[in-house]
Structure 1
Amino acid sequence: MNAVTERVRAAQRAVARISVAPLLVRAAIFVIVLAGFALAFPAEVLSGRPVLFLAFAALLPAFGPRRIWATFTALVTVGGWLLATDGYGRPVALWRLLAVAALLYLGHTLCALAALLPYDAVVDPELITRWLLRSAAVLLGAAVLGVLLLQATGTGGGAGYQWVTVLGLLVAVGTAALLGWLLRRR
């Protein structure tokens, strides 16, 4: 009984030390991942029980940003996008494609930030601001480059966007596999 009491007190001390900034970053992860699900999945799927599963899935990277959950939710988002476009015949809109890509990147980069921040970290707000500004610059550059490449190659239209989505997914999975292999070698 004494060990249980000590664990409860240790948990209370840990909860009392939690600071606001790491919690806000983790809350932002949840909101961004859930928004990505809402944009990617077809409206027919976003009712009833699947919404509960998607909300639970959006919580996973917020609580475990160092684990595989960020990759898992990114794959679920891309799967929802492919389901909406192939399975439900939703036309591919460039704004939706860019928004889903931006949310995927923001979720991933905020998971990286949350993985660095312990729950009791005292964080200067300028650090988070600089992190988000750098992320916004990357998103703007990627969106401009992506639109220019789509126009230059002439792969516009639904089939072109679908092809680009699948190619991007293959590049992302290949990069993750390569990084995992390199980390295991070290």
Structure 2
Amino acid sequence: MIDVVAGRVRSFQNAVSRISAAPLLVRAGIFVTVLAGFALAFPAEVLSGRPILFLTVAALLPAFGPRRVWATFTALVTVGGWLLATDGYGRPVALWRLLALAALLYLAHTLCALAALLPYDAVVDPEMVTRWLLRSAAVLLGTAVLGVLLLQAADTGGEAGYQWVTVLGLLLAVGTAALLGWLLRRR
């Protein structure tokens, strides 16, 4: 029994000594992004005392296990915090807060995808991480511009405008999924 524990301790020490900077920074980015999403989503009244401790631990989970269910779990907790703030505490929906929260959710998701590919001891060219983040920034910028344009179109159309934009958004989502599926099958 003692030999098994000592072997695991040596294995853990060996793994910790081989950690490289890039995967560690990506995982730190996951933690910061998820925690910032929590801070933006939840009402200020909730972010004190014991709940902030639980949210901090929850933000650590996807950083340590990006391949597991924790990224989805923290995204659902973030959305739950947003719903609690808007419905439970009556916080008005502000466009800047909604766009920032969507950006943080996407950034946490894409960083988890990157971390899932990188072993802890990977030697990574910093340019690769930079290109990954620039591509993510381009997606976020395009999404924000499209979202603002669609909201402006919805405001000019009244109640029918919101229905039109909702249907258009659903068609865009289905079309994107169909295009991606077609591209994957074509390989």
Between the aligned partners of 1:3 and 1:41, the Cα distance in structure 2 is: 44
Instruction: Quote how far apart the aligned CAs of 1:3 are.
Output: 2.8
Counterparts of 1:48-87 in structure 2, within 5 Å, are 48-87=49-88
Partner of 1:97: 98
Between the aligned partners of 1:101 and 1:24, the Cα distance in structure 2 is: 22
Instruction: Quote how far apart the aligned CAs of 1:142 are.
Output: 0.2
Partner of 1:120: 121
Partner of 1:29: 30
Between the aligned partners of 1:3 and 1:81, the Cα distance in structure 2 is: 46
Instruction: Quote how far apart the aligned CAs of 1:8 are.
Output: 1.8
Instruction: Quote how far apart the aligned CAs of 1:14 are.
Output: 1.0
Aligned partner letter, 1:30: F
Aligned partner letter, 1:132: L
Between the aligned partners of 1:24 and 1:36, the Cα distance in structure 2 is: 18
Partner of 1:107: 108
Deviations 1:71-95 (A, max 9, x none): 1100110111111011100111110
- C-alpha RMSD over aligned residues: 2.4
Query: Structure 1 pair 155/104, CA: closer, same or farther in 2 (3 Å)?
Result: farther
Partner of 2:185: none
Partner of 1:9: 10
Instruction: Quote how far apart the aligned CAs of 1:69 are.
Output: 0.6
Moved more, 128-137 or 145-154: 145-154
Q: What SS does the corresponding residue of 1:141 show, helix, strand or coil?
A: helix
What is the aligned-residue identity percentage? 82
Between the aligned partners of 1:115 and 1:151, the Cα distance in structure 2 is: 38
Between the aligned partners of 2:9 and 2:58, the Cα distance in structure 1 is: 28
Query: Structure 1 pair 121/93, CA: closer, same or farther in 2 (3 Å)?
Result: same
Deviations 1:110-162 (A, max 9, x none): 00000000000000000000000000000000000000011112289xxx7xx
Between the aligned partners of 2:47 and 2:6, the Cα distance in structure 1 is: 43
Between the aligned partners of 1:130 and 1:2, the Cα distance in structure 2 is: 45
TM-score relative to the length of structure 1: 0.82
Between the aligned partners of 1:78 and 1:68, the Cα distance in structure 2 is: 16
Between the aligned partners of 1:9 and 1:29, the Cα distance in structure 2 is: 28
Between the aligned partners of 1:147 and 1:69, the Cα distance in structure 2 is: 30
Between the aligned partners of 1:155 and 1:41, the Cα distance in structure 2 is: 31
